Amino acid sequence: MSVRPAGDFKTSYVQDMAILDTRLYRLGFAMLVAGLLLAPWWAGRFIFLLNTIGIYAVGACGLGLLTGFTGQISLGHAAFMAIGAYSSAFLSQALRFPFLIALPVTSLITFLFGVVVGLPSLRIKGLYLAIATLAFQFLTEYALIHATGGIGSTTVPPIVIGGWTVRTDRQFYYIVLVVWLAAGAFAANLVRSRIGLAFMAVRDRDYAAQVLGLDLLYYKALAFGIAAGYAGIAGSLWAHYNRLITTEQFNIGASIDYVAMIVIGGLTSAWGPHLGSAFVWSLSQGLQIFTPAVLAVFPAFGKIATPLREIVFGVTLIALLIWEPGGLAMLLRKLKRKLDLWPFAY
């Protein structure tokens, strides 16, 4: 059962359905956004980490809608990201599209790919579907390797918006931040709207959804399309950020990372993908700094520097998920409940 904070009354349905439903959370969110806006001043050289987190959070948002809210497991999310990255590269390099047009066009292209890939999901379900998407992942990688003529990398021009060329990490960060916030808000709104209800209805009991008049094929294909659209945006950002893309960056490992992110963040929470991306990338970066520090003290560990990172990463994930299988969002929700009730136990 849900616990409502005392003394915070709602007098309209609009208030009741708000995403940030109390003054305290609105204040907290405002501070979070302010902190992110000022990030170039406090993050220093780690601004690149925020860029990475933001880009992957956008992609993970899409997968969250597909897997968390619609219940379709996809092991091919990075393939959509790849399609987005290469489309964006092509559009801006060969066709000289400005970024502000290339980005939505890219998203539209990947949306269409997503819809097509989603069509078989009416018949192929669950883990079978996961493997079908895995096949799509491999086929896409393969096609891209051959289309780009081997393992070499593709260069991507920098973003130019109205004569302003985005060159530094800090400048790029604001592009990422705007897209990130918009994408996150869009996903959170979708979840509470009729689309979100329909997705969850399809996820939890498909025959009941049919009885409610919901076309399973439409909503599954739509979920795949939206997820792919998000991945396309992430891919486009990634391409323009790195300026050099290879198919390696979007391999099966990246697809699995995406799934890990949304599970760690919390599958059925609009915050999940963001928390997951932040956690995974911060942990990975933290270990990269931490490991040499350990080596400086214990040089004997030198041989296992790289694997040590992998081991600690794995152990952290295992510990976190054993502690709270619902992910970080569930941990936060429990914390929130404690705060709401404090100083009483219930």
Partner 1 sequence: MRPVEPVLSVDDLRLSFQGIQAIAGVSLTLASREILGIIGPNGAGKTSVLNCINGFYRPQRGRVVFGGRDITRLPPHRRAALGIARTFQNIALYPGMSVLNNIMTGRVIRMRSGVLACGVYAGHASREHVAHRQVVEEIIDFLEIEDVRRHLVADLPYGIQKKVELGRALAMDPQVLILDEPMAGMSADEKADMARYILELKDVRSLPMILIEHDMGVVMDLCDRLIVMDYGKKIAEGPPGAIQRHPEVIRAYIGEAAEGPAAH
Partner 2 sequence: MSEFLLSGLLNGLAVGSIYALIALGFALLYKSTKILNLAHGELVLFGGYLAIALTRAVPFPVAVVLTLLAAAVLGFTVERVIMRPLFGQPLLSVIIVTLALGYVVRGLMVGIWGGSTRNFPQVLPGGIVRVAGIPIQPAGVYSAVTAACLLLGFWLFFRYSLVGIAMRAAANDQLTASTLGVSLRRVFAYAWAFASIAGAVGGILLGLWLGVNFALGFVGLKALAAVILGGLDSIPGAILGGVTIGIIETIAGGYIDANIIYGFKDITAFVVILLVLLVRPYGLFGTEHVERL
Instruction: Provide the binding-site residues for partner 2, judged by CB under 8 A.
Output: 67, 71, 73, 120, 123-128, 131-132, 134-136, 138-139, 142, 145-146, 206, 252, 256, 259-260, 263-264, 267, 303-304, 306-311, 313-318, 321-322, 325-327
CB nearer partner 2, residue 102 or residue 129: 129
CB nearer partner 1, residue 146 or residue 205: 205
267 binding partner (options partner 1, partner 2, none; Cβ < 5 to 8 Å by kind): partner 2
- How many whole angstroms from its chain centre is CA 52? 11
Task: Please state, in angstroms and rounded to a whole number, the distance separating the CA atoms of residues 141 and 77.
Answer: 12
Interaction site with partner 1 (CB under 8 A): 1-2, 12-14, 16-17, 186-187, 189-190, 192-198, 200-201, 204-205, 207-216, 222, 226, 268
What are all long-range contacts of 191-199, with beta carbons under 8 Å and residues at least 24 apart? 191/65, 191/69, 191/270, 192/17, 192/19, 195/222, 196/69, 199/65, 199/69, 199/70, 199/223
Task: Please state, in angstroms and rounded to a whole number, the distance separating the CA atoms of residues 267 and 112.
Answer: 24
Alpha helix ranges (H) inside 98-251: 99-118, 126-147, 169-192, 194-204, 206-211, 216-242
Task: Please state, in angstroms and rounded to a whole number, the distance separating the CA atoms of residues 15 and 8.
Answer: 11
CB nearer partner 1, residue 48 or residue 218: 218
Closest separation between CB of residue 131 and partner 2, Å? Answer: 4
For β-strands 154-155 and 164-165, DSSP reports them as unpaired
17 binding partner (options partner 2, partner 1, none; Cβ < 5 to 8 Å by kind): partner 1
CB nearer partner 2, residue 123 or residue 167: 123
CB nearer partner 1, residue 19 or residue 116: 19
Task: Please state, in angstroms and rounded to a whole number, the distance separating the CA atoms of residues 107 and 90.
Answer: 13
74 closest CA partner among 135, 163, 19, 164:
135
310 binding partner (options partner 2, partner 1, none; Cβ < 5 to 8 Å by kind): partner 2
For β-strands 154-155 and 160-161, DSSP reports them as unpaired
Closest separation between CB of residue 215 and partner 1, Å? Answer: 5
Closest separation between CB of residue 66 and partner 2, Å? Answer: 12
198 binding partner (options partner 2, partner 1, none; Cβ < 5 to 8 Å by kind): partner 1
Structure token digits, residue 55: 């880009």
Closest separation between CB of residue 200 and partner 1, Å? Answer: 6
Closest separation between CB of residue 227 and partner 1, Å? Answer: 13
Q: Which residue type, as a one-letter code, is found at position 144? A: L
11 binding partner (options partner 1, partner 2, none; Cβ < 5 to 8 Å by kind): none
165 binding partner (options partner 2, partner 1, none; Cβ < 5 to 8 Å by kind): none
